[in-house]
Structure 1
Amino acid sequence: MTTTLTLNNDVEMPALGFGVFQTPPEETVTAVTEALRVGYRLIDTAAAYGNEREVGEAIRRSELDRSEIFVETKLWITDYGYDGALHGFDKSAGKLGVEQIDLLLLHQPVPTDFDRTVEAYRALETLLADGRVRAIGISNVMPGVLADLVQRTSVVPAVNQVEVHPYFTQVDVRAADAEHGILTQAWSPIGGITSYREDSPRSTLEDPVIGEIAAAHDATPAQVMLRWHLQQGRSAIPKSVRPARIAENFAVDGFELTAEELTRIDALDTGVRGGPEPETITPETFRREIPEA
C-alpha cells in the first residue's frame, strides 16, 4: 500500500513519487507507464522538462482512474507574473490532458524580479480557489525568500521541493518549511546529482556507510536513502528509465532503519549543493520559453 502524507490543506499525497527530470520525451511514456504498473501513484514533471505531454499519454494508457494518480508539475520562470502563470497553467494542463492538476509549484524563485514571483504565486492562489488545482507550492526556495513570500501572499505553500540527499541535507530549509507547516519534498533524493559532479568525492550510491546499512537490511543503497527520507517525514521523487531500478526504488516498505542508522546517514552531509544556487536563476541566465503545445 502506498504511504500517503497529508498536506497543510488536508489533501493527501503519496509520499513516494516518480520523477521525470531529464527523461527524454521519447522515453517518458515507457518509464511512466512502468512506474504506474509497479505501483507509483505520484508523478512529478515540469513545464521546463519538455515531457508533460508524454506524462499525460502514459497516464491515459495506464487505464487507471484519474482520481488514483496524483499529478504534480511546475511553472517555469518565463511564465511568471499573474497572467503569465495563469497561462502557464493552461499550457501544462493542456499538455497533460487534465482539467485539474493535483499539485502546482513555482519551479524557482526569481530574486532579481521577486514581484513577478509573488504575482505568479498569487495566480496559483486563484487557481486553487477556483478548484483548478488541489494544492500549490514552491521549489528551490530558501528560508529568507520563503519568509518574504509568506508575508506577501495569503496561502501558505503546501510543498517546497528542494535538493535533499545524504550529502546535502538542507537542515535549515527543512526547519523553515516545518515552521510554516510546509512539506519538504526531495529532488535528487538518492543523490543522483553526485554521480556526475566532477568535484563530488564519491557518489552517494557508493558511500560505505550507506552500503553497510544496506547490507544489514538486505537492501540496496538507493532503497536505504529513500527509506531515510520517508522515515523522516519527507516526500521523495526518484527517477529512472530502467524497469528494474523503477521497481527497486518503489520497494522500500519491507524494512525499517534504526534511529542510529538515521543519525549516521544525517552525518554524511557535506553542505555542498549539487544543483545551481537558487539566487543565480534569472530569466537571463536560464532563458527557456515554454511552447504553447
Structure 2
Amino acid sequence: GSLHSNLFSYSLLCSLPGTALECVKLAIDVGYRHFDGALVYFNEHEVGQAIRDKIADGTVKREDIFYCGKLWNTFHPPELVRPALEKTLKASGLGYVDLYIVELPMAFKPGKEFYPKDRDGKYIYHHTDLCATWEALEACKDAGLVKSLGVSNFNRRQLELLLNKPGLKHKPVSNQVECHPYFTQPKLLEFCRQHDIVIVGYCPIGSSRDASWVNVKCPPLLEDPLLVSIGKKYRKSSAQVALRFNVQRGVVVIPKSFSPERIKHNFQIFDFSLTDEEMKAIEALNKNIRFVELLMWSDHPEYPFHDEY
C-alpha cells in the first residue's frame, strides 16, 4: 500500500525487550497496518517476528503490511547504506521494507557505537553529504530491497538539496517530522504538499515528559482545554481529537503506545470528523514550540532546526 492509504501507523520507538512482539500482534489484530521501526530502536527482530507470525496465522499477507525502517546517523557514508538496510532486513526477516528513510540529516562518525563520543563526552560528527547518501539509497531501491525512499527531520533547504540533485532517480516520498496541535508545521506542510511529499507526524499526541530529551517547557498537549472540550462533544479523548486533526490535514500519524488499551483507543478516530471551525480553532493552538529539539546536536553543521522550516 502507499503511505496515503496508511494514514495511521504504530511507532516502535523505545520499547522494552519483549513488549514489541505482543504489542505488534495486538496492533495488527486491531487493524494497524503501518509500522514505524528503526535499527536504533533495537527491536526489529521482535517486530519482524510478530509480523511473520501474523502472516503465518493468516491474519495478513506481507503486502498488507507497510514497514518503515530508518538509516541511522553512523551509516551515512555511501558504502555503509546498503549494509545498514541489510541489517534491518536480516533482523526483521521481512525480505524487503516498504519505506526506508534517512532518520536525521546529521552524520555521526561510523563505527560500532551508535552514539560515538570522545573522551570529553562530546559527540563525534562526520562530514555529511546528503546527496551521496541518497544515491546509495536509490541503488537499494533499484536492487528491490526497498519500495520507497524518504527522509526524517529534514528542513526545506535539505529537502531542496535532494529534489534539485542532478540525476535524481527517486525523490523522497515522505518527511517524518514532529507535528501536533502545538507544532502544526504550516510552512513545511505547504512546501511538502507542493512537491508531493507526505508529512508523517511524530509525537502527534505530544510526547513523554522525559526531560533528558524532551522540552518540558511546553505544557502537556493532552490537557489542552480546547482539545478536551471538542473531545467531550464527540465522546472522544483529547488524544483522539489531536490524532483526528492531523489525519484530516493529510498528515500520517505515528502514535506510540505499549498499553493494549491505548493501542485500541488511538485507532478509534475514523468514526467522527472535525468541522472546519474546529480544525481552524485547533490550528490556532500552534505555539511553534518543539517537544523534540535535539539540542545536544545543535552544533552539527546539518542540524535541521536552526532554519525557520
TM interval, short-chain normalised: 0.7 to 0.9
The DSSP-based 3-state class of the residue aligned with 2:163 is helix
Distance 1:123 1:213, change over 3 A: same
| Partners of 1:101 and 1:119 in 2: CA distance | 21
Kindly indicate whether the alpha-carbon contact (under 8 Å) linking 2:76 and 2:128 is maintained by their aligned counterparts in 1: no
Residue matched to 1:266: 283
User: 1:195–1:203: 8 Å Cα contact kept in structure 2?
Assistant: no
d(CA) in 2 for partners of 1:198, 1:270: 13
Q: Give the residue type in structure 1 aligned to 2:65.
A: I
Are residues 1:226 and 2:239 paired?
Answer: no
Structure 2: give runs of 5+ residues left out of the alignment: 108-124, 304-309
Which residue in 1 is equivalent to 2:54?
62
1:47-58 aligned within 5 A: 47-58=39-50
- 1:234 CA displacement: 1.0
In 2: Cα distance, 1:178 partner to 1:113 partner? 31
Q: CA deviation at 1:156?
A: 1.6
Partner of 1:152: helix, strand, or coil?
coil
The 3-state SS of whatever aligns with 1:238 is coil
Q: Report the Cα distance in structure 1 between the residues aligned to 2:256 and 2:80, rounded to whole angstroms.
A: 29
Q: Give the letter for the 1:220 counterpart.
A: S
**RMSD of the TM alignment (CA)?**
2.2
Counterpart residue number, 1:192 = 207
Task: Determine whether 1:280 maps to 2:298.
Answer: yes
User: Is 1:83 paired with 2:76?
Assistant: no
Larger Rg: 2
Aligned residues: 276
CA distance in 2: counterparts of 1:214 and 1:195, whole angstroms = 26
Asked if the contact 1:31/1:241 (under 8 Å) is kept, the reply is yes
Report which of the two has the higher share of helix.
Answer: 1
Note closer, same or farther for the CA distance 1:202–1:119 as it changes in structure 2 (3 Å cut).
same
C-alpha contact 2:215 2:290 (8 A) present in aligned 1? no
Query: How many percent of aligned residue pairs carry the same amino acid?
Result: 32
Structure 1 unpaired stretches of 5+: 286-293
Secondary structure of the 2:70 match is: strand
Residue in 2 that maps onto 1:46: 38
- Local SS of the residue matching 2:281: helix
Q: 2:131 aligns with which of 118, 122, 131?
A: 118
**What is the CA-CA distance between 1:126 and the residue it aligns to?**
1.1
List aligned pairs for 1:21-170, cutoff 5 A: 21-63=13-55, 64-110=60-106, 115-152=128-165, 154=168, 155-170=170-185
Contact 2:69 / 2:99 at 8 angstroms: preserved in 1?
yes
Give the conservation status (yes or no) of the 8 Å contact 1:143–1:172. Answer: no
Question: TM-score, normalized by length of structure 1?
Answer: 0.88
Query: Which residue of 165, 173, 178 maps to 2:193?
Result: 178
Residue-by-residue CA offset, 1:36-84 (whole Å, 9 max, x unaligned): 1111000111111111111101111223221111111111010112111
Letter of the aligned partner of 1:128 in structure 2? Answer: K
